[in-house]
Amino acid sequence: MTIGKYKVEATDGTARAGTLSTAHGEIQTPIFMPVGTKATVKAMSSHELEDIGSQVILGNTYHLHLRPGEELIQEMGGLHKFMSWNKPILTDSGGFQVFSLSSLNKLTEEGVTFNSHLDGSKLFISPEKSMEIQMALGSDIIMAFDECLKYPATDKQIEDSIALTYRWLKRCKERMNRPESLLFGIVQGGLSLKYRMQSLEQICSVDLPGYALGGFSIGEPPEMMHELLPEVAPKMPKDKPRYLMGVGTPKDIIIAIDSGIDMFDCVMPTRNARNGTLFTWSGKVSIKRLQYAKDPRPLDENCACYTCKNYSRSYLRHLFMSDEILGARLNTYHNLFFYLDITRKAREAIKNGTWNDFRDQCLTQFSKKDSDS
Amino acid sequence: MTIGKYKVEATDGTARAGTLSTAHGEIQTPIFMPVGTKATVKAMSSHELEDIGSQVILGNTYHLHLRPGEELIQEMGGLHKFMSWNKPILTDSGGFQVFSLSSLNKLTEEGVTFNSHLDGSKLFISPEKSMEIQMALGSDIIMAFDECLKYPATDKQIEDSIALTYRWLKRCKERMNRPESLLFGIVQGGLSLKYRMQSLEQICSVDLPGYALGGFSIGEPPEMMHELLPEVAPKMPKDKPRYLMGVGTPKDIIIAIDSGIDMFDCVMPTRNARNGTLFTWSGKVSIKRLQYAKDPRPLDENCACYTCKNYSRSYLRHLFMSDEILGARLNTYHNLFFYLDITRKAREAIKNGTWNDFRDQCLTQFSKKDSDS
């Protein structure tokens, strides 16, 4: 196994199935990556993550830098050991949170000064600092430190921003000196095809083991992304994994896979689970609705997860109404299993040459709401 | 297997080891019963409860009556099926919560009128109603509806109360008509040996498959219970299980087993877990303390639980400080495992004739705090 090698094993149209080798094992794509913000995927144990077929999880550099700090995690043997997870970990660069969570952030060529959202203390992150934090965490896949523009942005803002992101990427690569970690570059460019292509050309001119699309799902109408993806994704290097950051709904994921994207992360399945919004193969279910009070059926009769095999909608509703931790657990377990099931089944369909049928079925089913069921 | 049969298998002094047969299987005593207030032991799945060796869990009649209601649970196939737990369930009578949680409760010979703590609605529970709710839930062990006096109480109050509890017990027995369920009577009598013995004589004159001591751990100095138990417990019928309700600390449990008690329940391991107070074989640990920030050791090196086998004190502290659900889970898992380990090891010691040594060791260890470790 060569660390960083990506092998495309099958294609169906522009959709791809492949395998990425990392220092903590292989990742079979397309793949959804559960988000473990603060060294824990909320409500899940690391062994449950394995049980549902997670192959790689995400850690948030910004949150871990603030608490408990990368030095502590490094001293405890790295993020894998700290959270008892022995498969691949991808860390983001911290950039997204610096721009969205912290107050008073100030951007210069050198990096970003910001105030911690926890205690207001003044902090600084640069491309170099982001690399140092992620290397200290022991991450398998390290994301470049980029500027995350808000939506909407002017052409001038986008132009300046992609230029800065390009310069920062070169500094990231320069600073990286951990052979076990893979650095992924991030294509920005807002919702403009022109600037997306310009950024893509710049970012992909730097030889890296993988490339991502950033700056989507930040408040724009979803159709804008759905229209851009088929134009942009297929232009990314074919022999490298393609990661669409922070996306999205089940429908978004199907459309992105169709465009040739390989990797996904999103807080939606975990966050929605805690809010009682559950994803099923027959559409969304809002478990608090009275119609489920005496519903003895499993949440999703077509789901093989622990929640669906052992508990009824009636019980899940009761737990949710009673604000019980087990409710958050069972809902999270199901939603993550469902997201992983989508990418697992997508991979099978691509390998079997039945992707178009699978895609169309999914797009029909996923638009249903529980009023239909 | 005869439902309701209790066999004492070994004694060591007044300490006992036995087996109780129920409609959902055998219970080996001494045993700690995790508390599943609202059809869930907080933060635990039913399968984790099995993994840690739970043999019987508790359900709270008052809470389940209010939400989701026993009719709903009965319609869903009973409490066992509802919460996916196929071993014995003991339900309390609702009395304790009626007197402690609800507002404006009014006591008459007939029963208690009270206002729901959820929505203020006016409700009524009598001995008959309590039996009906518990039978509808499908409970294996049904507790008699008794009056729960507050501490302190006057002699006159205690005298009236034990008389009422006795009359109510006879009404409970009269109403019971579910052969799969076992009715346990409850001895009251405050902290007075005289009234305890009087209540014991009355309650145990009713032929029942088990008897409990109620009205302890309600705010009195623990020494008062420690002094009364060796006087009272051995006078309870020898061929029936003896249950000390709502007790207590690890030390309380050792002292009670020494006095001949067989069954325990308490919210302490689960509630303390969520507050970051953890029990170990070397004393209590307050996991939020700074001294654990970089402590790579397991919580308890002598513990074989999932938490101790997979995670460090450092990680547990991080989860607690970050208010993560996994923190509540891992802490709860450990504390319940620890309580079950106490009763499991107590049983072994009683069977091996080494009870006195085990008791003395425990009493020394359990008084330690984390400042000592």
Tokens 């993560």 appear where? B324
- Which residues of chain B does A84 touch, with a Cβ-Cβ cutoff of 8 Å? 310-311, 315
Q: What is the DSSP string of B200-269?
A: HHHHHTS--SEEEE-S-SSSS-HHHHHHHHHHHGGGS-TTS-EEETT---HHHHHHHHHHT--EEE-SHH
Which tens digits make up the pLDDT trace of B14-65? 999 999 999 999 999 999 999 999 999 999 999 999 999 999 999 999 999 9
Residues A16, A93 share a domain: yes
Q: What CATH code is carried by the domain that includes residue A128?
A: 3.20.20.105
Q: Would the pTM count as exceeding 0.90?
A: yes
- B/e letters for B98-121, b = 16+ CB within 10 Å, e = fewer, are bbebbeeeeeeeebbbbebeeeee
Which of A52, A47, A41, A125 lies closest to A86, judged by CA?
Answer: A47
* B93 and B69 co-located in one domain: yes
B345 is a domain residue: yes
Residue-wise pLDDT tens digits, A311-363: 999 999 999 999 999 999 999 999 999 999 999 999 999 999 999 999 999 99
From the CA of B3, how many Å to the nearest CA of chain A?
27
What 3-state class would DSSP assign to B38? coil
Same domain, A259 and A281: no
B103 DSSP β-pair partners: B115
Asked whether the beta carbons of residue A296 and residue B72 sit closer than 8 angstroms, the reply is: no
| Chain B residues with beta carbon closer than 8 angstroms to that of A38 | 318, 322, 324
Do both B125 and B198 map to the same domain? yes
Distant-in-sequence, close-in-space partners of A14: CB < 8 Å, separation ≥ 6? A230, A233, A234, A258, A259, A260
Identity of the residue numbered B97: Q
How many CB pairs (< 8 A) connect A and B?
102
B344 at the A interface (CB within 8 A)? Answer: no
Q: Is A301 found in the same domain as A162?
A: no
Q: Are residues B243 and B302 in the same domain?
A: no
CB contact under 8 A, B76 and A315: yes
Indicate whether B257 and B303 sit together in one domain: no
Question: Which of residues B266, B289, B304 is at a domain's end?
Answer: B266
- Reading the block at residue A123, the tokens are 């902090």
Q: What is the per-residue pLDDT for A105?
A: 82
Which is nearest to A124 in space by CA: A133, A135, A132, A115? Answer: A115
Catalytic residue among A146, A262, A265, A341: A265
Task: Mark whether A173 and A295 lie in a shared domain.
Answer: no
Interval B84-115: pLDDT, tens: 999 999 999 998 888 888 777 899 999 999 99
B169 and B317 in a common domain: no
Contacts (Cβ under 8 Å, ≥6 apart) of B200: B187, B189, B232, B235, B236
Judgement on whether residues B294 and B322 belong to the same structural domain of the protein? yes
On whether both B35 and B133 belong to a single domain, the answer is yes
The answer to whether residue B371 sits within a structural domain is no
Parent domain of A50 = 6-266
Residue A152: Cβ within 10 Å count = 12
What is the band of A99 on the pLDDT scale with cuts at 50, 70, 90?
A: confident
* Residue A84 domain flag: yes
Flag whether A114 is in a domain. Answer: yes
Residue B41 lies in a domain: yes
Tally of domains in chain A: 2
CB of A247 within 8 A of CB of A256?
Answer: yes
Nearest by CB to B318, from A39, A43, A322: name it.
A39
Residue B373 lies in a domain: no
Q: Can you tell me the distance from the alpha carbon of B148 to that of B188, in angstroms, rounded to the nearest whole number?
A: 8
- Is residue A253 a part of any domain in this protein? yes
Of A47, A76, A312, the CB nearest to B294: A76
Beta strands A57-59 and A35-36, pairing class: parallel
* Same domain? B226 vs B314: no
Domain finish residue from A236, A266, A296: A266
Q: Please report whether residue A371 resides in a domain.
A: no
- Of B204, B236, B266, the residue that ends a domain is B266
Tokens 């129920």 belong to B22
* Angle of CA points B157, B160, B163, to nearest 5°: 145
Which of B329, B332, B333 should one mutate to test binding to chain A, selecting the residue with the greatest count of A CBs within 10 A? B329
Q: Using a CB-CB distance cutoff of 8 angstroms, which residues of chain B are in contact with residue A77?
A: 296
Residue in A38, A311, A326 nearest the CB of B43: A326
Buried b (16+ CB within 10 A) or exposed e, B125-143: bbbbbbbbbbbbbbbbbbb
Report residues of chain B scoring pLDDT below 50: none
Quick check: helix, strand or coil at residue A299?
coil
Chain A CB contacts of B72 below 8 Å: 293-294, 314
